[in-house]
Chain A
Amino acid sequence: MTTTLTEPQPQKTLPRERGQRPGATTRRRNWLGGLAGWLWLAVVVVPLYWILITSLKARSNYYATNPLAPPTDPTLDNYELVLESDFISYFVNSVVVTVGAVVPAVAVSFMAAYAIVRGWRMRFLRVVNGMFLMGLAIPLQATAIPVYLIIIKLQLYDSLLALILPSIAFAIPLSVLILANFIRDVPKELFDSMRVDGATEWGTLWRLAAPLTRPAILTVTIFNALTIWNGFLLPLILTQSPSQRTLPLALWTFQGEYGVNVPAILAAVVLTTLPLIILYAFGRRQLLSGLTAGFSR
């Protein structure tokens, strides 16, 4: 049982033969799906390709050449231009906010999800769960104005902590939902045997539930990191000075500063996305299967 639990694949499906997926409707070739698949690939790839090659073109060259042709003499000047601005400090700000929000968000969500699954008989925990579910149904951005007011009252306006605290709160509903779904799949007998062995609830949480749901924890971590790294509204309304800027906001101001220097703007787009591409390269299998399983139950 424990080995299947480390797989992020849905576990509640019927037993099946190896290598055979339920719902694999594609015994024969799926022409329509295939066509749509390749068509969508073009829709996705062409803009991405254009962003990348344009960011490598000299500004003077850009207007003279075919925009879809690869650069004749690629240059990193645009990247240099972006890096010479305060890009590094915006990058550091983004890292601080993302790590500072994701780690506590996942930790408190995991503890709450564990409590909700294990203590489902307690009304208090059902009420808490209902509140988090409500958070899924409400566009939390609508609370921007009171959040702004609270941050001012806490005297945190224009600080990175101002971005971290609401980010944690906004990450909780979805994180709890996904984590609870996975913790529920841990067989009850394992919890029971832990208890017979005299383990405390706290010990069971970290030594049984956490290792067994590691794929889900990783999924939730990556997903929250993605959301918070890319956040725009909170930095826009809760900070003011350039020293507290995060990357998405910096990108928006770059656009104003560089005007029609398209290659430089696109180099900035690539640079702000690069960390996520690298993260994706390492965690993609995890992320994709985790999200597929996490959202589709």
Chain B
Amino acid sequence: MSALTSSTGREGRRGILPWLAVPALLFFVGFAVVPLVGVFVLSFTTWDGIGTIHPSGLTSWRAVLTDPGLPHALWVTFLVMAVSWAVQTPASILLGTFLAGRQRYRAVLSLIYFVPLLLSSAAIAVAYRALLDPNFGLGAGLGSEWLSKDWLGRPWLAFGVVVFVVSWQFVPFHSLIYQGGVQQIPHSLYEAAQLDGAGRIRQFFSITLPQLKYTIITSSTLMVIGSLTFFDLIFVLTEGGPGDATRVLALDMYKRGFQADLMGPASAIAVILVLMGLAIALLLRRLGGRDAGESQLEGA
């Protein structure tokens, strides 16, 4: 509060400005910052979600860190993140570059591409469960041996389905980001390249891709942080199964906390998720060589 009053004094007429940020700040502190500190505190307690909360030192952490399920959940989380990034990024860049062009039918395409983003993860998961059902789904209906696999019943198939469905849902969004990025590349660069006799493919790799650097960082950050929170889709689609094949950390947290009533260990998992998110964001920011937020503000 001292920063607030001192700046009011210094700025004179602009005294109202800091107060304009206060309502947003209150919501954010109350339901994001306090919980963020809270989840750290709760990881040192024992709580069944209803009764009283008991401090229990490192018990929860010990339970989580010695659980063989943790390395597995970490591995699955990492794998979902890495594979879905590797699938979505090239596809989104390609589609985004394509959509940045001028023909009219591209506008129609981008209109349809966007529809999966309107469906809730729950709706998408419910629909794909029906679509992929080995007995009643598309494969059985078409009498296709290849399509009527037990998609969600085999570990690697289920993993593949999760990555596919995630991409189905989010590639449209990221291709939109890339479309905007491509549209901001100065046209003169391409003209110069053309004069130098660079072909289209050469232009793509020498101009488009390097110019998209910051767009790639933005999109990747959103993608990777988002992949840490793939809870609803996986929860409805596979419930983490078969076995634990698709049990990512966010799902692990829910199952330990809200199904097994072990809020302490679940909080420890949540802390790990937060740390992963921060670490990845910092890493991407370093790779990008600039602070996405700050430099945008200073460049104004």
Contact = CB atoms under 8 A, between A and B. Distances in A.
Contacts of A108: 23-24, 27
Contacts of B95: 33, 36-37, 40
Interface residues of B, number: 122
Given A118-B17, A122-B18, A145-B257, A169 B27 contact: yes
A195 to B, nearest CB: 8
Contacts of B54: none
Interface string B189-231: 0100000000010011000100000010011011001001101
Given A23-B208, A141-B231, A262-B136, A116 B21 contact: yes
Given A23-B184, A25-B97, A142-B274, 9 more contacts: A115-B21, A130-B293, A176-B24, A184-B300, A230-B121, A236-B258, A251-B126, A266-B127, A269-B127
Interface stretch (B64-72, B108-116, B155-163): B108-116
Chain B interface main SS type: helix
A280 B297 contact: no
Interface string A39-59: 011011101101100100000
A147 B136 contact: no
Interface string B75-107: 000000000000000010011011111110010
A14 interface: yes
B123 interface: yes
Interface string B116-134: 1111111100111111010
B180 A292 contact: yes
A267 to B, nearest CB: 11
Nearest to B119: A273
A119 B187 contact: no
A284 B98 contact: no
Contacts of B179: 292, 296
- Most-contacted residue by chain A among B117, B184, B281 (CB, 10 A): B184
B36 A288 contact: no
A148 B47 CA distance: 12
Contacts of A201: 13-14, 16-17, 20
A146 B35 contact: yes
A22 B270 contact: no
Contacts of B120: 229-232, 247-248, 251, 272-273
B31 A165 contact: yes
Nearest to B203: A25
A1 interface: no
B254 interface: yes
B250 to A, nearest CB: 6
Interface in A175-215: 176-177, 180-181, 184, 200-202, 205
Nearest to A255: B126
Contact of B127 (A47, A116, A127): A47
Contact of B274 (A10, A139, A273, A288): A139
Contacts of B266: 145
The 9 closest A-B pairs by CB, nearest first: A296-B180, A146-B38, A33-B98, A67-B141, A137-B281, A292-B180, A230-B120, A169-B31, A143-B35
A77 to B, nearest CB: 17
Contacts of A51: 127
Contacts of B99: 37
Contacts of B168: 43-44, 47
Secondary structure call for the A interface = helix
A39 B113 CA distance: 11
A13 B186 contact: yes
A22 B182 CA distance: 8
A205 B250 CA distance: 40
Contacts of B25: 112, 128, 131
Contacts of B121: 230, 232, 248
Nearest to B97: A33
A149 B42 contact: yes
A95 interface: no
A41 B142 CA distance: 21
Nearest to A229: B120
B273 interface: yes
B290 to A, nearest CB: 12
Contacts of B56: none
A233 interface: yes
B31 A10 contact: no
A63 B135 CA distance: 10
